[in-house]
């Protein structure tokens, strides 16, 4: 039985399912889930992330974290963590770039939050020579200063969708007729979690809610508030959710989210306001939401590109120029992706970001 048939049988037995349940099965079903069964990254995969585009991304992230570590007094032991580390490329680039910062790598205890067994195996090979520890949940981390990066992690967390109907909401579900999947709407209901969204929405507006984002962020922020450290949350989205942003990506092309479940990556734009509110509630300060291109330029990506270009020519030089543009230009990833930084109340914000 393929995943589509499994979902249709579940719907037949239990009724329509939330979009969050649908995403969870599509991405993490142990036999048919997208992340559970494959390496989705790269030219041969379905999408490519910033660390796979250029080493410059991870190098600058690493130096940003290292500078923050220095400014916080160089704690002798700390957790260097990544959420959803993909192939381990970003962490490898971070560790290579920070080798020149005396004491940083020696003090770092590497922790990776990764659910995919396929990707865990790849990460182990990528980080050969280091001793990463894999965790199942954020509460598994040792209670030490925490320096963390989450690049394209929160966009993959399951969401639920609600359509404004008067002073209440109708939830969007995934149903089926025995042979095909289709979206539908549930009955009117009050949604306490969306009570404040009645102020900035009108009839017919669709709002997305990710119940899993705030608890994860609260754990991260609470540990940073207690022990020191910083977190860089890098993802596509904006300050507040509005509209249908659920999307499926297969072979680098968008496709219908209900077409071939388990065979495409499913994501939704991140509501950064939810993350910022959770950070403040946990005693952490946060930076202004900053476009990725602005952040990388402030950290010196152009100077780094020029340094790398000095020894390149031909196709390699063209690829470097293209990578720089893709990471920073407003028409590429530069504006779509945003950066939110977390740090202790009594500390300075990470480089490249404004309080």
Alpha carbons 274 and 257: distance in angstroms, whole number: 24
What is the CA angle 307-312-315, rounded to 5? 130
Q: Give 109's contacts (C-beta < 8 A, 6+ positions apart).
A: 77, 78, 79, 80, 133, 142, 144
Asked whether the beta carbons of 339 and 149 are under 8 A apart, the reply is no
Is it the case that residue 305 has pLDDT exceeding 90?
yes
- Among the listed residues 63, 343, 141, 107, the one whose alpha carbon sits nearest the alpha carbon of residue 229: 343
Report yes or no: 301 and 324 within 8 Å, Cβ to Cβ: yes
Mean pLDDT of the chain: 94
Could you tell me how far CA 140 lies from the centroid of its own chain? Answer: 19
Q: What is the pLDDT of residue 46?
A: 56
Among 51-55, 109-113, 281-285, 338-342, the least confident range: 51-55
Q: What's residue 44's pLDDT? A: 54
pLDDT digits (tens, 9 = 90+) for 215-256: 999 999 999 999 999 999 999 999 999 999 999 988 778 899
- At 169 the pLDDT is 97
Token representation of residue 48:
């490519």
Give the integer Cα–Cα distance in Å for 87 and 123: 5
pLDDT at 42 over 80: no
Inter-axis angle of helices 301-309 and 314-328, nearest 10:
170
Structure-token pair, residue 28 = 């993490």
Q: Whole-angstrom Cα distance, residue 33 to residue 207?
A: 26
Q: Which residues pair with 338 in a beta bridge?
A: 235, 291
- Sign of the torsion angle spanned by Cα atoms 213, 214, 219, 221: positive
Distance of CA 76 to the CA centre of its chain: 28
- pLDDT of residue 41 exceeding 70: no
Alpha-helical runs (H) found in the chain = 3-14, 19-28, 34-37, 50-53, 55-71, 89-97, 104-107, 117-126, 213-227, 272-281, 292-299, 301-309, 314-328, 333-336
**Terminal CA-to-CA distance of the chain, rounded, Å?**
52
> In angstroms, what is the C-alpha Rg of the chain?
21
Q: How confident is the model at residue 34 (pLDDT cuts 50, 70, 90)?
A: confident
Give the pLDDT band (50/70/90) at residue 319.
very high
CA 352 to chain centre: 19
Cα–Cα distance between 162 and 160 in angstroms, integer?
Answer: 7
**In Å, how far from its chain's centre is CA 120?**
17
Q: What is the pLDDT of residues 161-196, one digit of tens each?
A: 999 999 999 999 999 987 899 999 999 999 998 989
pTM comes to 0.93
Q: What are phi and psi of 304, to 5 degrees?
A: -65, -40
Torsion of CA 17, 20, 26, 27, to 10 degrees: -160
What phi, psi does 188 have (nearest 5°)? -60, 140
What's the confidence (pLDDT) of residue 295?
98
Residue 59 has pLDDT above 90, yes or no: yes
Give the pair of three-digit tokens for residue 265.
Answer: 């990556």
The rounded distance, in Å, linking the Cα atoms of 123 and 97 is 18
């Amino acid at each position: 039985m393929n995943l589509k048939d499994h979902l249709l049988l579940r719907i037949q037995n239990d009724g329509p399912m939330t979009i969050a349940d649908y995403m969870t099965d599509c991405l993490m079903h142990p036999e048919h889930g997208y992340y559970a069964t494959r390496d989705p990254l790269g030219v041969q995969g379905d999408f490519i992330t910033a660390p796979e585009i250029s080493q410059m991304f991870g190098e600058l992230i690493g130096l940003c974290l290292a500078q923050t570590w220095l400014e916080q007094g160089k704690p002798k032991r700390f957790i260097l963590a990544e959420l959803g580390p993909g192939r381990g490329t970003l962490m490898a680039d971070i560790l290579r770039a920070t080798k020149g910062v005396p004491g940083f790598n020696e003090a770092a205890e590497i922790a990776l939050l990764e659910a995919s067994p396929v990707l865990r195996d790849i990460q182990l090979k990528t980080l050969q020579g280091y001793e990463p520890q894999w965790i199942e949940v954020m509460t598994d981390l040792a209670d030490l200063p925490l320096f963390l990066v989450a690049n394209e992690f929160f966009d993959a967390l399951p969401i639920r969708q609600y359509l404004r109907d008067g002073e209440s909401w109708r939830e969007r579900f995934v149903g089926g007729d025995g042979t095909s999947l289709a979206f539908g709407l549930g009955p009117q209901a009050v949604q306490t979690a969306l009570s404040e969204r009645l102020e900035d929405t009108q009839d017919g507006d669709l709002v997305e809610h990710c119940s899993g984002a705030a608890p994860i962020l609260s754990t991260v922020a609470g540990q940073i508030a207690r022990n020191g450290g910083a977190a860089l949350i890098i993802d596509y989205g904006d300050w507040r959710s509005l509209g249908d942003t659920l999307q499926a990506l297969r072979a680098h092309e968008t496709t219908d989210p209900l077409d071939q479940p388990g065979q495409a990556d499913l994501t939704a734009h991140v509501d950064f306001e939810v993350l910022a509110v959770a950070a403040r509630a946990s005693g952490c300060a946060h930076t202004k939401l900053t476009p990725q291109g602005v952040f990388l330029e402030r950290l010196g990506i152009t100077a780094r590109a020029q340094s790398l270009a000095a020894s390149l020519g031909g196709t390699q030089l063209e690829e470097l120029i293209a990578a720089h543009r893709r990471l920073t230009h407003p028409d590429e990833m530069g504006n779509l992706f945003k950066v939110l930084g977390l740090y202790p109340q009594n500390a300075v914000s990470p480089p490249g970001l404004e309080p």
